[in-house]
Each structure stands twice: as C-alpha cells, then as structure tokens.
Amino acid sequence: MKEIKLDNGITMPILGFGLFQITDLGIAERVVEDAIRSGYRLIDTAASYGNEEAVGKAVKNSGINRQDLFITTKLWVSDTGYEATKRAIKTSLKKLQLSYLDLYLVHQPYGDVYGSWRAMEEAYRAGTIRAIGVSNFTSDRVLDLSLYNDVLPAVDQIETNLWMQETNEVSFLKNHHIQPEAWAPFAEGKHQVFTNPLLSKIAAKHHKTSGQVILRWLIQRGIVVIPKSVHHERIIENSKIFDFELSHEEMDQIRTLDRNESQFFDHRDPAAVQNIHDLIRHVD
C-alpha cells in the first residue's frame, strides 16, 4: 500500500477504508476484517458513526501488528471543549481497544474547537495520538486554528469527488503542509457517476471500472482517499488502483466534470450549523 508522509514525519496510507453509515456492528466488524485481509491498513471511523467497538474487535482479531495499522477516529460536536475532549479520547481508545490513535480529527468546525484542540495537543505530546487534524474545515477555519495554536493540523478530511473537486481548498492545504483527505469520493453515486460516459471511456481504456478511475484520479492528486463498501468484491476492487496511471490528458478531462457544488451540505451555511446543533440537542 502506497504511503504519504505527514508534516510531523509519520507515514499514512494513501488509500483507506471508511465506515460512515455502517451502523450494524456485526456488518462493521465483518467489513473491517475483510478490508484488512484485502490489504487495507488505514481504517477510518468516528465516535458519531457508532461503530468504534466493532472496529476494535476487527483490529484485535486481524492478526496484524498494531504498528502496521493506521487507525483514525473523530471527535463529535457534542464532545467539544477541553475536558469533554479528554474524556472523548479515553472513550474512543476504550471502545477501539487501543493504547494510542494514529490520527484524531475534530469532526466538524463547530462548538468549542479551541478547547478541544488544547486537549488534543496534550494527547499528541503525550504520545496517545500520533497526529491530530480536522474534518470539514474550510481554508479560513484551518488558517484560524493554525495561527493561534502550537500544533498545526496534520490532515483536513473534506468532501472531494468529481462534482466537488475542491481544487482551491486542496491547493491551500498543500501549500500549508496539511494533507488533504477525501470523504465521499464516489459522491454516493449521485448524478449517475458510475455510468458517466467520460469515466466509462477512460475506464475501458485501462481495463478498470469507473470507481477505480475515480480513486486513481484522487490519489494522483496527492489526496488520501477512504472509500466505503459492505460488499467483498467492491472492497477488493477499490484496492486495485496501483497498477495503472491516468495520463495528464485524462486528468484534465476529468477536471472538466467539476460542478463546484457539495453533494451533501455547505458547512458554512447557517442552516447546516443550526441542523447539527438541533440534532445534538435532540440526542442529548
């Protein structure tokens, strides 16, 4: 598995396995075991996904040395703040049955992010977390966090797919030595992405699938990518992207598909902020 080096010197696989929306713990445990057997070493979960315990069981039963795996989880908005974040880190470690995390992300740019970051910096210095970062932070929020804290975010995990290519955001992150990571690389199949004529043509040329072309396009941009699937064949298929390369012309052609629109919601939209706040209050 190809790896990239984060700004603090640790290495991270450029391809991983995501667990968003896999809420059935039995299925979550099975697919993580399947992914690890298929060669994945980066596993991406979150407290809000509700499947950390399943990930922990799968990792424990995998037979793979802990140091050969890269485990990411995330801090949910309801746990922001200094003391709450310290508790959340301990909870995630317990559920995952781990003594340390490879990467811990602030899941959303809401709540007491500064208090959370101080707690994360402490855990990073103590070796409990090997790298800290953010998710869904736009460039202005990333810069604000960076300018007023000692430890810079190592990673920003953002929506990046054919319809939301995030060219400017990715350039900003790279210029500030922050690794971009793509969630929803397939845009959940929206706008018939898997049958797009251009992708189908490029895929046929390389004897690959459109999904494999999408993942290859992302890693050739230097973006870490975490596709998700509950199907054995697709898990394997998504890993088979290191035996071909897209040409400059093909990369440019794919770039023309950008709609520059989120397929989910805009994190700067006040309505989105309100919705997440109301969701937290409802859960509490």
Per-residue pLDDT of 1-19, as tens digits, reads 799 999 999 999 999 999 9
pLDDT exceeds 80 at position 106: yes
| Predicted local confidence at residue 97, as pLDDT | 98
pLDDT of the residue at 281: 65
User: Per the residue annotation, which of 40, 49, 104, 124 is the catalytic one?
Assistant: 49
Please, which residues have CB within 8 angstroms of residue 101's CB and are 6 or more apart in sequence? 71, 72, 73, 89, 92, 93, 128, 129, 130
3-class DSSP state of 166: coil
Taking the chain, what is the end-to-end CA distance rounded to the nearest angstrom? 41
Angle between helices 113-126 and 82-96 (to 10 degrees): 50
What pLDDT shows up at residue 269? Answer: 86
Domains in the chain, CATH or no CATH each: 3-283 (3.20.20.100)
Q: Retrieve residue 261's tokens.
A: 């629109």
Higher pLDDT, 229 or 264: 229
The residue count of the chain comes to: 284
Residues β-bridged to residue 73: 104
Residue 159, pLDDT > 60, answer yes
- According to the model, what pLDDT value does residue 43 have? 98
The pLDDT value recorded for residue 90 is 98
The rounded distance, in Å, linking the Cα atoms of 109 and 134 is 8
The whole-number pLDDT of residue 92 equals: 98
Banded pLDDT at 284 (limits 50, 70, 90): low
Rg of the chain taking only CA atoms, in angstroms: 18
The string of pLDDT tens digits covering residues 174-214 is 999 999 999 999 999 999 999 999 999 999 999 999 999 99
Q: What is the pLDDT of residues 211-260, one digit of tens each?
A: 999 999 999 999 999 999 999 999 999 999 999 999 999 999 999 999 99
Mean pLDDT in the chain? 96
Q: What's the mean pLDDT in 247-275?
A: 92
Following DSSP, what letter does each residue of 222-233 receive, concatenated?
T-EE----S-HH
The residue among 72, 83, 175 whose CA lies nearest residue 131 is 72
For residues 123 and 144, the answer to whether their CB atoms sit within 8 Å is: no
DSSP letters for 82-122 = HHHHHHHHHHHHHHHT-S-BSEEEE-SS-SSHHHHHHHHHH
> At residue 283, does pLDDT exceed 80?
no
Instruction: Give the per-residue pLDDT at 266.
Output: 83
40 Cβ neighbours under 8 A, 6+ residues apart: 1, 13, 15, 16, 17, 235, 239
| Backbone φ/ψ region at 159: left (φ over 0), alpha (ψ -120 to 50), beta | beta
pLDDT in tens, 54-84: 999 999 999 999 999 999 999 999 999 999 9
Please count the helices (runs of H) and the strands (runs of E) in the chain: 11, 10
CA angle 87, 92, 96 (to 5 degrees): 150
Q: Is 107 annotated as a binding residue?
A: yes
State the pLDDT at residue 265. 81
- Is residue 49 part of the annotated active site? The answer reads yes
